[in-house]
Structure 1
Amino acid sequence: MKNSVILLLVIVLGISASAQQTPDFKKMRYDDVFYLEPDSTRNTYNKIKYIPLGQDSAYYASVGGDIRYQYIVTKNNKWGDESDTADGYLLSRYLFHTDIHLDRFRVFAQFQSSLANSLPDPSPVDENTADIHQVFADVNLLGKQKTKLTVRVGRQEMLYGSQRLIGVREGPNSRLAFDGAKVFLNKDNFKSDVFYTHPVANVPGAFNDKFNENAKLWGSYNVFNDVPFIQNVDLYYLGLWKRNSDFDGTEGRELRHSIGTRIWKNKGSWNYDFEAVFQFGKHAGTSLRAYTLSSNSSYTFQDVKLQPTLGLKTELISGDKHADDNRIQTFNPLYPRGAYFGLVALIGPSNLYDIHPSLDLALTKNLNFGIDYDMFWRWSINDGLYAPNMQLLYSGQGTNKSFIGTQLGSNIEYDPNPYLSFVLEGSWFDAGAFLKEAGTGKDYLYAAFTAQLKF
């Protein structure tokens, strides 16, 4: 760990000394564009961000990466029903990419290595020794500046909206990618994607993440910006097929359609994000109807010391009302971000409702503090509690308790420059009546230190 941190510091000092521009690293690194500025070849760092491949400026290559170390200590895993790692464990993730542009043609490739030291029996999401995380080709069919129609084929990350349904899984050690094709249109204040994919199945070992024949994801996602009064609107349809899924005792093939809308604003003092999704389809031969309503709003007091931001989230997510009525109301969040509620990925967004206030403070220009408190209840007492990947944690059968518990989280983040960040965080989950009846029901404790470098 010590040598790894020293390596991070050496690399970032070298980058900071040579880079003149302030980079804007995106959540999906293939969206990075800062290296296209005219002076991008004046120093060592920017030379690797913009490598000319000829006289034409539209022919170039770029390289970059992301290195992250996380040291994690937990107590009472799965609220006391799983063993703990006494001295904690270290997660490390390495991402390196190459981006080649040949006018209207583009190839992007990214390598990923996720390692778990001192973690007994790690899952493929925790440890995936080495693999090609992304490799895809783009063709810009129009070649215009303001209107772009692009076809993308290959293994690729996807992220839509606030990652409630489709995200890159940044929190866990291995990020998520999809095999498939996508056509996307960007024109003024309108963006539209149409895609057909298979989520990549992570497999332990090296270079063996295979094409997943057991699941399919397809759909269309449309974004309208600068809409009068409401600012921004998303409209989307998502289709999911899985060969086998289990909803608290009901197991079988799943075909699920999701229709949703999102109204949002992320600039200024007052921000908001409201989303509604309705799902229908079939599961194991039975009718499927599910839904979710979500609200996330915040206000920043920009003229007050520490610029406090007060936030309030609340979600209502349906669960199955009756186990034997040939209907399923369990909501499936598809492929959401890992840590859906707060800092820790304990509970998935299905069969629950919650109230989640938060406070963020800007202690200095580069130092931020946050604290949040989340209260959880089961929406239906006849359905269980699910993990973020929709694995059943506890069955809801045999107990009528609805209160799951409360989660208190806090973090402090220091960003000395655009390339490097340090985060110290902790959470305490106070087990409620349902967890005490369904399992051991001990309080869960979590602490982590994260160091991350992007270049």
Structure 2
Amino acid sequence: MKKWVYILLFWSFASIAQESDIQFRLLRQEDQLSTLKDKEEKNPYEKLKWIPLGENNRLSLGGSYRFQSEAFINEEFSSEVDQDDIWFLNRFQFHSHLRIADTFEFFAELNSSLITSKANLAPVDRDELSFNQLFARYHFDENWNVLVGRQNMRLGSGRLIDIREGPNVRLSFDMAQLQYQNEKTEITTFYAVPVIVGQGVFDNDALDFQESVAALYWTQHWKPNSSTDIHVIYKEEEAKTWDSGTADDNRLSLGLRHFGRWKKLTYNNEFVFQTGSFGDQNIRAWTASFNIEHPISILGTNSAIGLKTEAISGDTSGTDGTLNTFDGLYPRGAYFGRVARIGPSNLFDIHPYFDTSVGRFNFELDYVAFWRFSRQDGVYGPPLNLQYPSINEERFIGHQIGTITAFELNKFITLEFETNLIFPGGFLKESGLDDTLFHAVFTAEFKF
């Protein structure tokens, strides 16, 4: 009951501030507040977002609260496993953003991610209190800047490095970053160490050099509707486990992404090749991803149909001295929906979908068919952990049908209900996992 009281209070607050022109972003340091600069009469909420500190300095405060209720039936494709009926997740975030002239900025974001009623916790379920982000950025001029500290990151479409928004705890990196950008070009280079979540109060492990990543990422906007990403990413990880065993994994990813629009067709295509070493084996892995979408009109609604398909390499032999398993690095935590059962390694999938908007409502329907790319490799979860080892010769993993129904009360409050059904295919059935999985999650989020 208290949760609904909070939501109603947030709704009342949001109604007062609704006239504001502020635009929220997924990364809150990128919120658009420029319309407040020359606005003489600010309401109480706008005064919170733009606090002048002298002539050229300002402070902005903000945050969010996200409540989720999540449930599984046959979470591991087996009715014989103990069932957790339903659990509740709460995530609070509060940030302050200080800007000194156009030269220096300091951003701090506290996070508290809590969960109740779930027996077996994953590392992404709980982090009682921590700094999700804490960094300083210095702007040499309007093009160049350097950042040092803790930050969430999303590169490109988030296929290789993402902030992990789906789960309760986001992914943070302790890092040093140099960035250049103008109207058509964005170049980012960095060295980063992922933060290991401790689940308690300020107990996350910082600068644990058992795992690190360095990258050069270049985005070029050639035309208004045609852009490319070119990237080089080097990742080192100690004691990584694939289906073929456990060893130190050091790999270089070379990638090209082309995205934009052609006439009415929106496209987003990407290819990545990986090389390096896994213990005493060489790495030769790759992925190709294609996504096209076309708008349609149904009874006057804004709708679209699309198709995604991916081929992601898996290991072809455990004795040839070469590892072919693709490493998705730090992908979205909800790679194929928040059901989060299958991740981007050793996979071939076909993913048609339909999306429509009616007023403040948005509805999505999608279907995914999954196959193992290689019969000699297992099936991995979104965090690239080995979920289901290769113990049979079946290739087909299963069918997944998902829906998302979202309602935007206003720019501050959104409600969403997602459902997923996964019907096991031959590989899961031959592994003794033959029960249909059902998943549902309700999300209410308030931003300010």
**Could you say which TM-score interval applies, normalised by the shorter chain?**
over 0.9
How far off is 1:26 after superposition? 1.0
Give the drift of 1:77: 1.1
Distance 2:409 2:331 in 1: 30
SS of the counterpart of 1:338? coil
The equivalent of 1:74 in structure 2 is 72
Using the TM superposition, name which of 8-17 and 153-162 deviates more. Answer: 8-17
Query: For residue 92 of structure 1, what is the aligned residue in structure 2?
Result: 90
Amino acid at match of 2:377: D
For 1:296 and 1:127, locate their aligned partners in 2 and report how far apart those are by CA, in whole Å: 33
Kindly, what percent of the aligned residue pairs are identical? Answer: 34
- Cα offset, 1:79, TM superposition: 1.3
Q: What is the total number of aligned residue pairs between the two structures? A: 444
Of 183, 205, 210 in structure 2, the residue corresponding to residue 210 of structure 1 is 205
The answer for the alignment partner of 1:34 in structure 2 is 33
Task: Report 1:124-143 matches (<5 A).
Answer: 124-142=123-141
RMSD across aligned positions (CA): 1.6
Q: Contact between 1:64 and 1:98, CA under 8 Å: does it hold in 2?
A: yes
The one-letter code sitting in structure 1 at the alignment partner of 2:25 is K
Take 2:282 and 2:247, find their aligned partners in 1: how far apart are those partners? 12
Query: Match for residue 389 of structure 2?
Result: 395
Determine the structure 2 residue equivalent to 1:371. 365
Return the offset for 1:268: 7.8
CA distance in 1, matches of 2:365, 2:217: 33
Q: SS at 2:235's partner residue?
A: strand
Residue 257 of structure 2 corresponds to which residue in structure 1?
262
Unaligned runs of 5+ in 2: none
Q: Distance in 2 between matches of 1:40 and 1:317?
A: 54
Counterpart of 2:231?
236
| Match in the other structure for 2:114 | 115
Q: Distance in 2 between matches of 1:446 and 1:126?
A: 16
**Alignment TM-score, normalising by the size of structure 1:** 0.94
Seen in structure 2, the aligned counterparts of structure 1 residues 303 and 373 have a Cα distance that, compared at 3 Å, is closer
Aligned equivalents of 2:298 and 2:375: distance in 1? Answer: 46
CA deviation map 1:84-121 (0-9, x unaligned): 212x0101111110000012011000001111110113
Deviations 1:59-88 (A, max 9, x none): 0000111110110111111212753212x0
3-state SS of 2:212 partner: strand
Q: What pairs with 1:372-451 in structure 2 (closer than 5 Å)?
A: 372-396=366-390, 398-451=391-444
Cα distance per residue 1:251-272 (max 9 Å; x no partner): 1111010000111126984211
Deviation for aligned residue 1:36: 4.9
Cα deviations by residue, 1:373-431 (Å, 9 ceiling, x for unpaired)? 000000000000001111101111x3100000000001110001111100111110000
In structure 1, the residue matched to 2:55 is 55
> In the TM superposition, what whole-angstrom CA distance separates every residue of 1:171-222 from its partner, at most 9, and x where no partner exists?
0000011001001111121000000000110112110111122100110111
1:2-21 aligned within 5 A: 2-21=1-20
**Is the contact made by 1:40 and 1:49 (CA closer than 8 Å) also made in structure 2?**
no
Partners in 2 of 1:295 and 1:283 — Cα distance?
Answer: 28
Equivalent pair of 1:286/1:327 in contact (CA under 8 Å): yes
Structure 1 distance, partners of 2:298, 2:369, is 31
Distance 1:320 1:453 in 2: 44
Summarize deviations over 1:25-68 as a string: whole Å, max 9, x none. 11111111225532276111111111001122xx0000111110
Are residues 1:219 and 2:215 paired? yes
More displaced, 267-276 or 128-137? 267-276
Distance 1:267 1:444 in 2: 39
Match of 1:102 in 2: 100
Say if 1:224 and 1:234, in contact at 8 Å, map to a contact too: yes
Gap regions ≥5 residues in structure 1: none
Q: Secondary structure at the match of 2:302?
A: coil
Deviation at 1:326, TM superposition (A): 1.0
2:401 maps to a residue whose letter is L
The amino acid of 2:133's aligned partner reads Q
Query: TM (normalized to structure 2)?
Result: 0.96
- DSSP 3-state at the match of 2:300: coil
Task: Tell me if structure 1 keeps the 8 A contact 2:18–2:410.
Answer: no
| Equivalent position of 1:353 in the other structure | 348
**C-alpha deviation, 1:342, in angstroms:** 3.2
Residue of 299, 321, 327 corresponding to 1:332: 327
